[in-house]
Amino acid sequence: MKNKHYKFVDIFAGIGGFHIALESLNAECVFASEKDTFARKTYYDNFFSKNPNLFESGNFNDDILQVNPECIPDFDILCAGFPCQPFSQAGFKRGFDEEHESRGNMFFVLRNIISVKRPKAIFLENVRHLEKHDSGRTFEVIKNTIEKELGYSFNYQIVKASDHGLPQHRPRLYMVGFRDESSSDSLFKFPKPESLRMTMSDIFGAKCPKRVGFTLRVGGRGSGLNDRRNWDSYLVNGEEKRLTVKEGRKMMGFPDDFIFNVSETQAMKQLGNSVAVNAIRATANKIIEYLDLYYAEDGECKRKDLVLDLVSA
């Protein structure tokens, strides 16, 4: 538990992987936005009892495009796993040219919120292919927007779920920035990888030759052991077995009491679209530690003072 109490927003919230991670670090979610009806139901079913004010205050939004950033409550950390279809192997890799539901432009929705609300920190997650998309031009737009237009530092790293104890690869691009700080001066460091806390044998409760599982995803479910699209079929005790919600939940780091009052198909889709909770928590913990060190109670960045002290020493 942290001494300071930070507030965060959960944009493109899915079923709440960011919410679980930051709430466990004593941070409070004051605004969340998710468009998908089924994901909203799962989010509500799991977080209403813990954070009723989020829902009763009208701050559980269903269309971020209709929100005036000025109306979002003040917060310290912006969290967003912004839509990755335009950048992923599962999509058409059109990037900012993607027109369907304006998915490719959702980054600029975040840009507008950051510009108006000026949070202390931003924490973004996307597929790893974003870094190389369109020969790096898409990523350069994001980087320049955060650094030069918004005035935040920009730290990024490919992080695997298996780097933080979970038995699946799931490489994702994590992007972290801090207000009023240049990237060249930033002292932020991503957390060091940890050992596996469980293997696929632990996930199934039976012998599985694969220690680290396939990345949990939406497409290719039920493809079979010998299909290159397979991600949910495993050899368990010598027989082919498919993942259920119970195993998928563990692989993603969601607690055992996390409930899905939706169909099995919907639940697996939601897990495949979610974030690896353990990896998010480890990075969020580093963000909060950084804020504790370098930000005063009034929200002003102390990094400038530290740099000036070093220069004048």
Name the residues annotated as catalytic: 84
In angstroms, the Cα distances linking 156 to 84, 115, 164 are 16, 20, 17
What are the distances in angstroms from CA 192 to CA 117, 157, 183, 249, 261? 31, 11, 20, 24, 36
Q: Is 143 exposed, middle or buried (0-12, 13-18, 19+ CB in 10 A)?
A: middle
Element (H, E) at 7: strand 7-11
Residue type, 55: F
What's the length of the chain? Answer: 313
Alpha helix locations (H) across the chain?
A: 17-23, 37-47, 52-56, 106-117, 137-144, 200-204, 245-252, 264-272, 277-294, 303-312
DSSP assignments along 64-83, one per residue:
GGG--GGGSPP-SEEEE---
What is the rounded distance in angstroms from the CA atom of residue 79 to the CA atom of residue 86?
19
Report the amino acid identity of residue 205: G
